Structure 1
């Protein structure tokens, strides 16, 4: 078994509520994602009512829904680099203020052009959430708890997606669509107040016990250390040099494939149930939630399994790759859903697929902290891989729509393609990434690691 050089002999896990502050920190990140996804999806729920007020052409509706991903994907790269440079506390707060303020201001729009600008701004603000949360976990958690911690904040997005439909619908019914945006934006701003008051770096937090800090440090948390007296500082890996590592390209391609499958469930899944399986509105509302709920359990299972394998003595490389490749390979059963005879069987296969891809996602979120050459690149790597993954956010739904148009509405091609892409993602993690371990710093090795 290989032992990473930055992990000291593990200490016993400290017991008691006062020695578990790290879980409160990741809970803050999870809550941010609940509000993040609420603000992201309020437009989708409100769009029919907005169209009645400001007369949005059908051709513009697709642009509105896609504009978010343009701002979000492009800003992942600078967001990660800025968090690494200026700190997660300030950048996360600033991004949440932007996305909360933009969401609230969306309730004031009068034209479709203003709505497009607002969606772009929302994507810019929300770009800090993923690399910021990955940074928090890298600093606050030992390696053997990292995957579970990442699954907790990642599940905030799924909880937000589940809650958004009933909550936003109730707000629209009671106060109108403009107030729905105002309330959603206010929740994000309120989170900023809580974040600024509660979050500090581990070595600066006044409520962190000495026992918990020692446990975090000994377990391999990615905390920057000043060079010893008389020693020269280690050479720095520049941001653009990260793209010279083969491992980074494996992370980008693998996460693209993972998100390609996920975005089928976010975008076209309800249409598939209605068009191909004959679900009515009531059936869609009841049964359509099943894959998303199962995926929450799949994500937690992925985090627990990856961390448990480490505690049982598996190497980091073996534990992470097993969960990544296994989860993506199982998610390829999405391709079989169009061939089974009953809607119940199709729903079961789709639930397995969504849960499996969520199972892998916990380890995906852990990779930036696992492989960053130095702690200063964790958020940069998180932003890079998330940028690649969100290209699937607008490419995947567009390709599915084109294939439906060319095939006369058949979902066979889109789901088989999604299953094939899941297999490609598994191969990317299994073969392109040689080892899950901190990448070498020396420039001479950067091109092949």
Structure 2
């Protein structure tokens, strides 16, 4: 008979943390579906609303403006009120905004709705990091973070053909109505099912002890914690964190090219029919899923074999970012199969890098500032995601092709690898003195 969390010494640990991971993966799936649906709609939407490449670049970036600005406040809110309330409210908000995009009539309304989307999506990844840090021991954390990171790409890979079908059959507005309603339904599931470890029904003491002894923060990350401004300085005076901030900035710039301009690149630059985009466009996302899973397992395997934390958590990221830089090879071929191959390699590498970055962050963040540090990391990281679509749009508008844009994306891979190799150094937990 399953024990509750008040007893059960010597009993087999329950497995509630894996159900929590399923919930996080589900919400992350929805989160990225609602971020990237515009990329699928863009070729038709831009013609219908008479939006040129520079205007679309601004629209793609608009979500990142509010998303980035809200990262540090959202980290504080998560430390103050916990992920159940903040994540749940955010999910409802961004789902309703997604649905409302279907009534857009032009440039200004698209900007307004994308700003709203970014505002409500801001708590997502700081919340994911806080939840996994609270629920999972270190030896399982790479797999857990890899799983929810993989959920980003699963949504994009599996739903790109479906969203393309909706686009062709019912028009671009149907994409936003459908994805928004899916999010509202998931909000009900979240509020009904999620609680922090100490309050989660059915979790026993053995599982809580397993998490704590393995480096999880099951009993130290609590709701209603007051964070002082004196403690916040530790978010900005660490070389380790600045190395991660720069690497995250570069990685996000690569990701947001795929999340925004990639379908339009296939249609405009490589002259691919929209129905083929739904099929070929899913292949890089599937490659990213493979990269996430391989990197997560590889990193956890190195941890289990007693490799250093730096080797286990940094090496997959470095390899991934270097692979992402090969995207520049697509500039030298017009063969669709060759182009897609370069894109698949690049997105495989981006997936590898994404799988472990949050795992490394969870190993070095001060335990008193899990949410705030996650928010700060996501703030600086998403400057890359915010700037990237606008830079790509500007380069397309001024040069008339995507060649310079791919050079920019490739350079971000090299910058990120440099940061992980030379700036972070030997990772260790940052301690705040009493």
**Fold shared by both chains (TM-score > 0.5):** yes
- Sort the Cα spacing of 1:176 and 1:359 in 2 relative to 1 into closer, same or farther, 3 A: closer
CA contact (8 A) 1:131 1:383 kept: yes
Equivalent in the alignment of 1:65: 60
Tell me the SS of whatever aligns to 2:217. Answer: coil
Contact 1:96 1:126 in 2 (8 A): yes
* Shift, 1:439, TM fit: 1.1
What is the number of residues matched between the two proteins? 419
Unaligned runs of 5+ in 2: 1-10
Once residues 364 and 108 of structure 2 are traced to their aligned partners in structure 1, the CA distance between those partners, rounded to angstroms, is: 42
- 2:419 equivalent in structure 1: 428
**1:41-440 → structure 2 map (5 Å cutoff):** 41-46=36-41, 58=52, 61-108=56-103, 113-169=108-164, 180-225=175-220, 238-274=231-267, 277=270, 279-339=272-332, 342-374=335-367, 376-409=368-401, 411=403, 413-440=404-431
Shift of 1:81: 1.8
Distance 1:408 1:283, change over 3 A: same
Indicate conservation of the 8 Å contact 2:157/2:283, yes or no: no
SS in 2 for 1:238: helix
Deviation digits for residues 234-276 of structure 1, max 9, x if unmatched? 9996224411212221111001111222223223334444555
The two structures have a TM-score, normalised by structure 2, of 0.86
Alpha-carbon distance in structure 1 between the residues aligned to 2:339 and 2:168: 34
* Bigger shift: residues 351-360 or 141-150: 351-360
The 2-side partners of 1:266 and 1:94 are apart by 24
Whole-Å Cα distance in 2 between the matches of residues 422 and 111 of structure 1?
A: 34
The Cα offsets for residues 119-171 of structure 1, whole Å up to 9 and x where unpaired, read as 21111111111110111110111101111111111122212223444444555
TM-score (norm 1): 0.83
| Runs of 5+ unmatched residues, structure 1 | 1-13, 227-232, 444-449
RMSD: 3.1
CA shift, 1:386, in A, is 1.7
* Partners of 2:240 and 2:93 in 1: CA distance: 33
Rate the CA distance shift 1:93–1:410 in 2: closer, same or farther, 3 A.
closer
Pair 1:106–1:327, CA change in 2 (3 A): closer
